[in-house]
Structure 1
Amino acid sequence: MGYREMYERWLTFDEETRKELTGLDEREIEDRFYRELEFGTGGLRGVIGAGTNRMNIYTVRKATQGLANYILKKGIGNPSVALAYDSRRYSDVFAKEAALVLNANGIKTYIYKELRPTPMLSFVVRRLNLTAGIVITASHNPKEYNGYKVYWSDGGQITEEHAKGILKEITSVDYGDIKTIDFERASMDGLYNYIEDEVEEDYIDLVKGLTINKSLIDKMADEIKIIYTPLHGTGNVPVRRVLKELGYKHVSVVKEQEMPDPNFSTVKYPNPEEHEVFTIALEMAKRDGADLILGTDPDCDRVGVVVKNNEGEYVVLTGNQTGALLTYYMLSQLKELNKMPENPVVVKTIVTTELARRICDDFGVEIIDVLTGFKYIGEKIKEFEERGDKNFIVGFEESYGYLAGTFVRDKDGVIASSLICEMAAYYKSRGMSLYDGIMELYERYGYFREDLKSITLKGIEGSEKIKAIMEDLRNNTPKELAGYRVVKVKDYKVGLEKDLLSGDKADINLPKSNVIQLILEDGSIVTARPSGTEPKIKFYFATIGRDMKDSSDKIENMKKEILRITE
């Protein structure tokens, strides 16, 4: 069916949809209907609105009917699914609609009574031993977006195998095939259930149980000043509760960003990677002399950190810096307190700082690389448990995602906030800030520096341009970048690493993914990867220099060269 025919069909769905679609120009109609909203390895994400290429109750129902069909064909006895949602527009509506589709297919659902962080969805799937989970969120995307993420029974995001199976079922579903049921009927029949408060209590207790050095917190609890902002999202209740129950005496919330707000009215993007989101918090910090600012994104799976530098100015740490600090802190404290388990392991993604490798080597701890995406870290935790051969310490990715413990299988802003505060207390007990801490690591292990450049290319033309850029890098690999020879190319799409000097080839033992890495002779790395959730191509840059200026200069030169090549 062509986009025009589909458009005409949608005009018959309901009055509100018809009103939204009437009067659109041809280009807008094509953009809304030229494809189905893509169900990737994590689920759906798109602009809210009417159309097959938008987030709305019909695309949510269609995806859920496909998921229901997949679960039922698996022949799982007494199938059940948990649901959670964030503060975005229609998140609660989409969660309820998804639950009722599942209920109409005879699948029990368990839904949080109020908005809750994504990691708590991962937790409840494991805690209640459910078949799968759905969380309605678009993470840190602009307010126009929403999304739909699917988790499996291990609490991790669905694997490639499940994603392909679910996509196949979704593709075969016609809008006329979708089942649904009245809320009252679903509730009476015991199909639609709310998650009990005791489940949340268990989660909070487990988060607090990850504390490594409680005596340190007790000693510094009245000394350290913390400012927290949930950025209008789901972190407000659980983050503040954990910090309070651990004993921190001076935790202030940014009032203007405390309550859920689907318009994210105080920020351009609710993304803790964007420095601007901390504007109000910074004013508070300067007034109150805070040691630390924490900010979680709307679904509270990522956290940004702001600390004082040597000049007393507040600076935002990168995800790589925070992750490296957490790695060092956890390993050093576990060793010092004789709590290090046997066969400890740290997991990071291929685009995350190599500083973590230096730290792990120093402590004699294994470190493993996985593809970009926290679900791959979750998969590794599952492997470790099934084999019983390694003990997971911490996992992180450069985009502000961190996890300790194994009761959650996705990045967790509540867990991370707790450990970051403990880490800040440790450094303050030494008369240092977290900025001093990262400088100490640079001096000890080398001046590592990383950066990211995202290029947004929207629509059909943008999608084609992204494909062309990747194919050009793959087939016409530059011989040098920023004055350094390109000595190796890693093509994760074909699973092959090639040494450009010797011609030798080696297999990459990771799942196939459309990622290309260029390794330069000075050890610098440039990684190209199309985003799986946004119309972007991302370039990750990593290097190590003689000092901070040398590292920064190298990064800037590589960025300029890549932008010139891609243009």
Structure 2
Amino acid sequence: MYREKYEFWLNSSYLDDEEKLELKNIKDEKEIEDRFYKDLEFGTGGLRGIIGVGTNRLNIHTIGKTTEGLSRYLIEAYGSNISVAIAYDCRIMSEEFAKAAASNLCANGIIVNLFGTLHPTPMLSYAVRELKCKAGIVITASHNPKNYNGYKVYGEDGGQVTDKIANKILSYINNVNDFSEIKRMDIKEAENRKILNIIGEDIDKPYIEKVKQMVIRKDMVSSCGKNLNVIYTPLHGTGNIPVRRALKELGYENVFIVKEQEYPDGNFPTAVCPNPEDPKVFQLALELAKELKPDIIFGTDPDCDRIGIIVKYDDNNYRTLTGNQVGILLTEYILSSLKELNRLPENGVIIKTIVTTEMVRDIAKDYNVGLIDVLTGFKYIGEKIKEFEQWQDKKFIFGFEESYGYLAGDFVRDKDAVIASTLICEMALYYKMKGINIYEALINLYNKYGFYKENIISIELKGKEGCEEMDTILEYLRHSMKRTLGGVKIVKKLDYKLSIEKDLVNITENVIQLPKSNVLKFVMEDKSWFVVRPSGTEPKIKLYFSVIGNSFKDSEEKMEILKQNVMTIIKDAKC
């Protein structure tokens, strides 16, 4: 089957000579199989894959097929007067893919609002809402290595499309059977016919103004912002201009940039994997810190929706914080500040994902604020904000996920590192004015609520065999798990595919009121837990772990034991 597809592409008149040469030069049969054994999957986040020629690769043709399907869906759903916003990041082929998508939409009679230069993902979300578009597209592969790119689809609310709509779009994509069905219009012609609009400052300025409005302690920031010393690295991505602009306009005068990582570069020469979750990407920033002695260091990923921070530990040392740690710090700072200023809403809610730290539940409870769990993926947080807006029964305050994504406010419906950077600076400034650093503030939280520790292991499972192995592991855990792990009782099993939560102590069952997803969560008698989840965007299975200790050492020891016990089960499942 894959060979037939390979030959079809090789002989197609729609491929140019360079693309055909790429296919002819493949000598490894496994490589041919991997490129053609399936179509690149369109999930709830859209497409993500390796750039190259083939059905299981990201290229002009897979972009064209996906956009043709999206166009047909939009025309069926909305009829006429449809507009779509498109943004792209710094990655290889991002601009070309964005224009290919624009070309198809315009050829289908859909008005396109295309950013004229690279922009962060959250600004696309804002543009969809501001311009009252029916959909949005952003070309990015987030923090993946340079050989990846992606195509994310947003709904008219500015949030990533979730399961129901994604499945509808997929049905239209699957009905595009031939290259000849993919419509195209010359970009210049589209501009001349006013079907294509180039956007930029008309969106940038109001967006930055909205970001600045998220500041809680405005007087403190405006009068004392110049006292905070910051090192920022955009990691060769899109955050450089909007993050610096927002901080500068707020009055942060001492923001220093890691020069080697300042400008956009899809080859990511100083960071093989431009992921702010990886401490290695901050090596240059830490070198600069020896000279500048900043209060805080932070970096954003290529499409500027995630942010990682490093904080001062003592006079000469810095420590990397996890996404969970930043999340609990921001939650505490935001809630305590709103309460102090009598601005804490009675129906306020914090939203987190099911793999995010439970410590935030304790914090929310102390402030009499609700906490809601959603499936992994910020799209589900955006979906909840939409529900709050429709029902007017709850007020969204803050949402975050363990993978370094944060959001406050509702004018964006995706994680936003521009907003997060301003809140992190405000928090750092507040604690500095109080005579402590962020790390000391974190220790205060641990002393109050317990030493929560989280960890993650990713197991890479490539190709067709990898997908089959992933299914085997999940089915083993679903049906063959014992009731204890390392001598500790498992008290709850949550199966998000079957939508069943089993209480293994009282032998009762509850329905999980979340969309179905092939994810399992096991909760232990000592409140530790682990989650097994296939990645929705990468050929990986992810294992999430959480424990609570009475000290750093205690929680570290418990974490190692939990991970070892779970990995033993995973090995058994693979056999």
Confirm or deny: 8 A CA contact 2:117 2:200 kept in the other structure: no
Who is 1:19 aligned against?
Answer: 21
CA distance in 2, matches of 1:76, 1:562: 51
CA distance in 1, matches of 2:245, 2:191: 31
Who is 1:100 aligned against?
Answer: 103
Who is 1:122 aligned against?
Answer: 125
Confirm or deny: 8 A CA contact 1:482 1:554 kept in the other structure: no
Following superposition, the deviation at residue 62 of structure 1 comes to: 0.4
Following superposition, the deviation at residue 552 of structure 1 comes to: 1.2
Following superposition, the deviation at residue 199 of structure 1 comes to: 1.6
Higher mean C-alpha deviation, range 307-316 or range 425-434: 307-316
SS at match of 2:447: helix
Following superposition, the deviation at residue 285 of structure 1 comes to: 1.1
CA distance in 1, matches of 2:570, 2:485: 13
Confirm or deny: 8 A CA contact 1:530 1:536 kept in the other structure: yes
Who is 1:4 aligned against?
Answer: 3
Who is 1:65 aligned against?
Answer: 68
CA distance in 2, matches of 1:220, 1:334: 19
Confirm or deny: 8 A CA contact 1:326 1:420 kept in the other structure: yes
CA distance in 2, matches of 1:131, 1:75: 8
String of CA shifts for 1:441-497, please: whole Å, max 9, x gaps: 111111111111111111111111111111111011132223311111000000001
Following superposition, the deviation at residue 365 of structure 1 comes to: 0.6
String of CA shifts for 1:27-48, please: whole Å, max 9, x gaps: 1111100100000111000000
Who is 1:330 aligned against?
Answer: 334
String of CA shifts for 1:409-464, please: whole Å, max 9, x gaps: 00000000000000000111111111111111111111111111111111111111
Who is 1:270 aligned against?
Answer: 274
Following superposition, the deviation at residue 342 of structure 1 comes to: 3.2
Structure 2 residue 154 is the aligned partner of structure 1 residue 155: no
CA distance in 2, matches of 1:76, 1:540: 44
Who is 2:140 aligned against?
Answer: 137
- Mapping for residues 525-544 of structure 1, pairs under 5 Å: 525-544=529-548
CA distance in 1, matches of 2:29, 2:332: 56
Following superposition, the deviation at residue 218 of structure 1 comes to: 3.1
Who is 1:34 aligned against?
Answer: 37
Confirm or deny: 8 A CA contact 1:529 1:538 kept in the other structure: yes
Structure 2 residue 392 is the aligned partner of structure 1 residue 413: no
Q: Which amino acid aligns with 1:4?
A: R
CA distance in 2, matches of 1:411, 1:151: 13
CA distance in 2, matches of 1:478, 1:228: 47
User: Structure 1 residue aligned with 2:173, among 164, 167, 170?
Assistant: 170
User: Structure 2 residue aligned with 1:497, among 497, 501, 512?
Assistant: 501
Confirm or deny: 8 A CA contact 2:119 2:238 kept in the other structure: yes
Following superposition, the deviation at residue 539 of structure 1 comes to: 0.6
String of CA shifts for 1:222-260, please: whole Å, max 9, x gaps: 321100000000000000000000001210010000000
CA distance in 2, matches of 1:353, 1:363: 17
Who is 2:461 aligned against?
Answer: 457
Following superposition, the deviation at residue 311 of structure 1 comes to: 7.0
Following superposition, the deviation at residue 184 of structure 1 comes to: 2.0
CA distance in 2, matches of 1:76, 1:271: 40
Percent identity between matched residues is 56
Structure 2 residue 239 is the aligned partner of structure 1 residue 235: yes
CA distance in 1, matches of 2:391, 2:176: 38
Who is 2:489 aligned against?
Answer: 485
- Mapping for residues 349-368 of structure 1, pairs under 5 Å: 349-368=353-372
Structure 2 residue 340 is the aligned partner of structure 1 residue 341: no
CA distance in 1, matches of 2:239, 2:487: 45
CA distance in 1, matches of 2:193, 2:168: 29
Who is 1:44 aligned against?
Answer: 47
SS at match of 2:209: helix
Structure 2 residue 311 is the aligned partner of structure 1 residue 288: no
Unaligned regions of 5+ residues in structure 1, if any? none
SS at match of 1:74: helix
SS at match of 2:269: coil
TM-score by length of 1: 0.98
CA distance in 2, matches of 1:268, 1:179: 36
Structure 2 residue 153 is the aligned partner of structure 1 residue 146: no
String of CA shifts for 1:77-122, please: whole Å, max 9, x gaps: 3011000000000000000000000000000100111000000000
Q: Which amino acid aligns with 1:21?
A: L
Who is 2:479 aligned against?
Answer: 475
Who is 1:84 aligned against?
Answer: 87
- Mapping for residues 185-224 of structure 1, pairs under 5 Å: 185-224=189-228
Following superposition, the deviation at residue 310 of structure 1 comes to: 4.4
Who is 2:523 aligned against?
Answer: 519
Aligned residues: 566
Who is 2:447 aligned against?
Answer: 443
The 1:448–1:359 alpha-carbon spacing in structure 2 relative to 1, beyond 3 Å, is: same
Higher mean C-alpha deviation, range 116-125 or range 2-11: 2-11
SS at match of 1:70: helix
CA distance in 1, matches of 2:242, 2:430: 23
Confirm or deny: 8 A CA contact 1:10 1:17 kept in the other structure: no
Confirm or deny: 8 A CA contact 2:346 2:369 kept in the other structure: no
Unaligned regions of 5+ residues in structure 2, if any? none
Confirm or deny: 8 A CA contact 1:310 1:436 kept in the other structure: no
